[in-house]
Structure 1
Amino acid sequence: MDVPLRQRDRSGLEFLGSLQHHAGGVLQPAAAARYEAAVPDQPAGLADRRRSVGTVLADHGPWLFDRFLTRWVAEEIYVRALPAVEHGRERIDAWLNAGGAPGTLALDPGVEIPDYWNAGFHLTTGGWDGHDLMGVVTRDLGYEYVLAPGGVGAVRTGEDILDQRERVAREAPRRDYRRILEPGVGTGMFAHAVARVFPDAEFTGVDLSRTGLEYAHATARDAGLPWRLIQAPAERTGLPDASFDLAAVYILFHETPPKATAAILRELFRVLEPGGDLVIGDVAPYDRHPAFRAVVLDWETEHRGEPFWRSALQLDLPGLLREAGFTDVEAYGAGGGTYPWITRGHKAA
């Protein structure tokens, strides 16, 4: 939605976006150039890569300021965005609660929340549902003003976050899907990309976040999309066996520990009908990146609220798909790059 912002709120968020753009677009490339010139034969293992980058860039100003600014901006988003939404609460509440949505929203006050979901993702104040307007905070303020212009994590400065989502949807093998499931639907950013690629398919989104689902429901209403949105853990959706022909997943599995990832994959295999497909878009494993880039990505684990990032980027995701029962498993970079990184599988007929 068009969040009503005071000038001070808007300028503060735009300042964060500019800082992030400078860090990712100027400081980080300078640090990468320094490292690559100093270490032409780069180490392979993650521990050796971290030591190498730390040693070579220990007193390199662009690297130190890039890391400082990236962490500070990640914290400051919520310091500035939470008061901003309070200033516009009346209009935001009216938008979220307007009727007339063609789809459904099923919230479960007694939903069983897995322990890992309370890990403080992305340094959010109080967690994903730490504020009742967190969906607006993350999508309309965080993404719009800071992350879209500045980049974040695997998304480099200047890349189109929304276009990347549509590229993942287009990696699904067919175009005639009838019923699509997205676990971890969040605020619906990827869901809208799925709707553009598969406009005639029925869509169901599952997530644990009440505020994310409320936001997705409101945007689906505005777009006239009859989404079915359900509050439930992705590993226990409660949906019937063989009820979907495509499961589409975007940037979910770097937010889950390995055991939860395996459980979610088993659940997706269960709810897919024979002949159905799974397409996943996420961050490429560490071994697909040069040493400096791998260390930049790994830094997220301990410094930017990504507690399961390191385990996810060292996980054999294709192997887990095969263990869950999927066939024709493949992994590759969309467009030949490393992000979005695609993993696909098929449930044999």
Structure 2
Amino acid sequence: MDLTPIQRDRAGLQFLGSLQRFSGGVLQPAACRRHDELVTDPPATLPERRRAAAAALADFGPWHLDRLLTRYVAEEIYVRALPTAERSRQEIESWLDVPDDAPGSLRLDPDLTPPPYWSQGFHLTTGGWDGHDLMAVAINDIGYPYVLMPGGVGAVRTGQNLTDQRTQVVREAPRRSYRRIFEAGMGNGRFAEAVSRTFPEARYVGVELSATQLRYARARAVRSGLEWELVQAPAEATGLADGSVDLATAFTLFHELPPRAARAVVDEMFRVLEPGGDVVVADIAPYERNQAFRSVVLDWETDHRGEPFMRSYLQSDLAETLRAAGFEDVTAYGLGHGDYPWVIRGRKSEHHSDI
């Protein structure tokens, strides 16, 4: 939605964006240079890289200030964004209120029991992903434009465009047309918009655990003239019919999942794909594809920035998980600087049968 905060709120958010940009654009590169000067032969494993970085940067001020500011912004973004949203509640609620009979659909599950990993408090959100009824707006229309887009976040470096990256990933799908596209963990619909722009004739179905994100995605679709089918369910148990889609996709979902859940989501993608269907997922590259210092920065988020499964994800092989589920012709590669986004593609055999 087109939300313009009052000047005081806007200034506070822009301050956070400036801090994040300074941290990611000045302090962190300085720490990287210091690390590379001292760690001339980077260790092979992630734990060894972490120990080497800690020793090399133990007395280096820019590194510690970078980590302090990164943590501060990660917490403060919600401290500022949620009150900002509250001051525009009437406008936001009006935007979220769409007719029940509008094209597309939203199916919420009032009896849903979320999987255990859902309670981990992703991204340091206040009260969790559904901890506030305006959380989706706070993230998408306040946090993104004022803090995350200018400053970067996680694997997205300062100056990179989060929206462009999503479009780049969608275009990695091997066909130029699809019948029905399924997205696991769709969030508030940012990636879904790239899907619908790229494949306007395809029917889109998005599955997501968060009710607040789904309500936001529903309004986003209706107000953009898009007929999305939205379902509240775990990505590993969608309730979709066997072989009912010809493209399964996900964007930056897997680093939010423990290994067992990640395997279950891949298995579910395989199940709902028709024989011959494609899978295209994008996330962060595994640690061995990242420069040693960068892998330590990403690993730090497990303990300090609300990414509880980042460490296990960085040490996993998502491409191998797809192969183990039955996908063929699996390839993995990076699209941009630092191999981000990291894309994994595969195909379900045309001869596969569940019978």
* TM-score in terms of structure 2 length: 0.96
Cα offset, 1:101, TM superposition: 3.4
| Match of residue 81 from structure 1 | 81
SS of match in other structure, 2:254: coil
Q: 1:41-60 maps to which residues of 2 (within 5 A)?
A: 41-60=41-60
1:119 equivalent in structure 2: 120
Whether 2:179 is the aligned partner of 1:178: answer yes
Name the counterpart of 1:24. 24
Q: Which residue of 1 aligns with 2:156?
A: 155
TM norm structure 1? 0.98
> Once the two structures are aligned, what percentage of the paired residues are identical?
62
Unmatched runs of 5 consecutive residues or more in structure 2: 351-355
- The total of aligned residue pairs comes to 349
The alpha carbon displacement at 1:261 in A equals: 0.6
Residue aligning to 2:91 = 91
The one-letter code matched in structure 2 to 1:298 is D
**Equivalents in 1 of 2:204, 2:98: separation in Å?**
21
2:37 aligns with 37
Give the letter aligned to residue 145 of structure 1: Y
**Structure 1 position 336, deviation (Å):** 7.1
Superposed CA deviations along residues 246-292 of structure 1, whole A, max 9, x for unmatched, are: 00110000001010011111111110000001001000000001111
The DSSP-based 3-state class of the residue aligned with 1:262 is helix
Across the aligned residues of Structure 1 and Structure 2, the Cα RMSD in angstroms comes to: 1.0
Letter aligned with residue 33 of structure 1: R
Give the CA deviation at 1:156. 0.3
Return 255-264 or 314-323, whichever deviates more.
Answer: 314-323
Offset, 1:335: 4.5
2:282 is the alignment partner of 1:276: no
Aligned to 2:236: 235
Report how far residue 17 of structure 1 moved: 0.4
Alignment partner of 1:228: what SS? strand
Name the residue aligned to 1:133: 134
Letter in 1 for 2:92: I
Distance 1:6 1:113, change over 3 A: same
Question: For residues 74 and 336 of structure 1, do their structure 2 counterparts lie closer, same or farther at Cα, with a shift above 3 Å needed?
Answer: closer
Q: Is 1:103 aligned with 2:104?
A: yes
- 2:266 corresponds in structure 1 to 265
- The alignment partner of 1:176 has SS state of coil
8 Å Cα contact 1:101-1:218 kept in structure 2: no
CA deviations 1:306-344 (Å, max 9, x no partner) are 001111111121121111111111111115741000111
Taking the aligned partners of 2:199 and 2:186, their CA distance within structure 1 comes to 16
Structure 1: tracts of 5 or more residues without a match? none
The one-letter code sitting in structure 1 at the alignment partner of 2:77 is: I
Kindly indicate whether the alpha-carbon contact (under 8 Å) linking 1:3 and 1:85 is maintained by their aligned counterparts in 2.
no
> Alpha-carbon deviation of 1:4?
4.1
Deviations 1:146-167 (A, max 9, x none): 1110001100000000000011
Measured in 1, the distance between the counterparts of 2:221 and 2:140 equals 14
